[in-house]
Amino acid sequence: MVGVRADLETRMRQVDTVGVIERAAAAPAALDAMAMFAAPGPVKIISEVKRKSPSKGALADIPDPAELAGAYETGGATAISVLTEQRRFGGSLADLDAVRSQVRIPVLRKDFMVSEYQLFEARAHGADIILLIVAALDNRQLRDLYQLAGDLGMTALVEVHDESETERAVDLGARLIGVNARNLKTLEVHREMFGRLAHLIPDDRVKVAESGIRGPQDIADYVAQGADAALVGEALVTGGDPSAAVAAMIEAGARVRGGAA
């Protein structure tokens, strides 16, 4: 996470802690994302606004993130994920603002969250969901940030990569748990990871498959292994028709569950 704290310090010089807390308090109330994720129905798709990645480099030119987010919503996305990390992903808080102004569904601020300031910042810019990566936080940090997210009315997507991290997320009481198939050190994708970890997550939690999803068949495979939701970026920004791509993924998941999308 080289550069995360340096970039954070720059933003804190521009808007101090008191200022960002005031802005968060003045923002419209966060949407109840968990109510949408836990609702009966087909697989929930979190569609991502993603320009580039450390593993693939440049993915897509996205001149209008709001337009892309609107297409995702039209296709049936449950939530929109917005990368706000600039160095590795080419994102920004301006992207978050643009998407929030466009859609009526929950918006996830996806970044390396390491401080309370970032959570207030996320709420100030309209985020309803924030990402907490278990591997990047010790138990106290994880607990404190999770609690603050709830206090601010936001839902935390708690991301895990192995058995010990899954145990920590479950013990935390996380209701929305993402299994990331990408190894953070090698950046390789191991799609079998979801199936390996899903059984460790109680059925009363929402299980999210993350990373390396190439299309509807991967969604079907993950749903068959117990996924309630999936976070998809690259396949949607490179596919040419994001609305139709989201709809096809939802339909693929519905076929596995034996219901209509």
Question: What would the pLDDT profile of 79-135 be if each residue is shown by its tens digit?
Answer: 999 999 988 888 999 999 999 999 999 999 999 999 999 999 999 999 999 999 999
Active site residues: 48, 50, 110, 159, 180, 210-211
Tell me the residue range of the domain where 33 lies.
Answer: 1-259
- This prediction has a pTM of 0.94
| Each residue's pLDDT tens digit, 226-247 | 999 999 988 998 878 999 999 9
In this predicted structure, the answer to whether residue 259 has a pLDDT above a threshold of 90 is: no
Q: Which of 216, 229, 163, 173 is nearest to 193 (CA)?
A: 163
pLDDT at 258 over 80: no
| Mean pLDDT on 158-172 | 98
Crossing angle for the helix pair 139-151 and 163-172, to the nearest 10 degrees: 40
Taking alpha carbons only, the member of 176, 182, 140 closest to residue 157 is 176
pLDDT of residue 257: 77
**Residues 6+ away with beta carbon under 8 Å from 210:** 159, 178, 179, 180, 181, 182, 230, 231
Beta bridge partners of 177: 158, 207
Q: How confident is the model at residue 144 (pLDDT cuts 50, 70, 90)?
A: very high
pLDDT of residue 120: 98
For residue 260, name the pLDDT band (cuts at 50, 70, 90): very low
Number of domains comprising the chain: 1
pLDDT reported for residue 131: 98
What is the radius of gyration, based on Cα positions, of the chain? Answer: 17
| CA dist., res. 86 & res. 257, Å (int) | 38
pLDDT at 1: 65
- CATH number for the domain including 72? 3.20.20.70
DSSP labels, 144-158 = HHHHHHHHTTPEEEE
Find the mean pLDDT for residues 12-40. 97
Would you say the C-alpha torsion 42, 46, 51, 56 has a positive or negative sign?
negative
Whole-number pLDDT of residue 212 = 84
pLDDT tens digit string along 44-77? 999 999 888 788 777 888 999 999 999 999 999 9
The DSSP letter of residue 210 is: E
